[in-house]
C-alpha cells in the first residue's frame, strides 16, 4: 500500500492469494511481478477490514534484443569520490517501440 509506509510488501502464495492488514480507508495497491506490467490500483478497505480483489496480471510480451552505445573503449573517464554520488544510464528505444524490459546490464569500471 503506497500511502502507508508501515505496511510491509507482501508476496502471493502459489495460488496468487495474499493478505495485508491495514486501517479502513482508500489506498493505492502497487502490484509488480517479473515479466508482467506494473499496476497501481485503488482499493477501499472497509471497517471490517475484509475485501476480495481479483487483479489480472498483464504479461510483458517482447522479444530479446540488445542495446549498445559504444565499443567498450575507455575514451571518456568520469570519477567521483564523494559519498552519495550516483550515475544514471539513459536508454533509447528503437523507433516504433514504446516500452522495454531490461533484464541485464553491463557496466565497466576502471581504477
What digits encode the pLDDT tens for the residues 31-89? 998 888 899 999 999 988 788 888 999 998 877 777 766 666 766 667 777 888 877 77
Residues in the chain: 111
Place of cell 502507508: 4
The span from the CA of 2 to the CA of 6, in Å, is 10
Instruction: Of 31, 107, 93, give the one whose Cα is nearest residue 62.
Output: 93
The span from the CA of 47 to the CA of 27, in Å, is 14
Candidate from 6-20, 52-66, 97-111 with smallest mean pLDDT: 97-111
Place of cell 571518456: 76
Looking at the predicted structure, is the pLDDT value of residue 109 above 80? no
Amino acid at each position: 500500500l503506497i500511502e502507508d509506509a508501515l505496511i510491509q510488501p507482501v508476496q502471493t502464495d502459489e495460488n496468487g492469494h495474499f493478505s495485508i492488514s491495514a486501517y479502513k480507508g482508500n489506498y493505492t495497491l502497487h502490484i509488480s511481478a517479473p515479466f508482467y506490467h506494473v499496476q497501481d490500483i485503488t482499493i477501499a478497505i472497509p471497517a471490517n477490514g475484509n475485501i476480495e480483489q481479483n487483479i489480472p496480471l498483464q504479461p510483458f510480451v517482447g522479444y530479446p534484443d540488445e542495446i549498445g552505445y559504444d565499443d567498450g573503449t575507455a575514451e571518456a573517464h568520469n570519477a567521483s569520490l564523494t559519498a552519495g554520488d550516483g550515475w544514471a544510464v539513459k536508454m533509447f528505444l528503437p523507433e516504433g517501440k514504446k516500452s522495454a524490459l531490461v533484464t541485464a546490464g553491463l557496466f565497466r569500471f576502471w581504477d
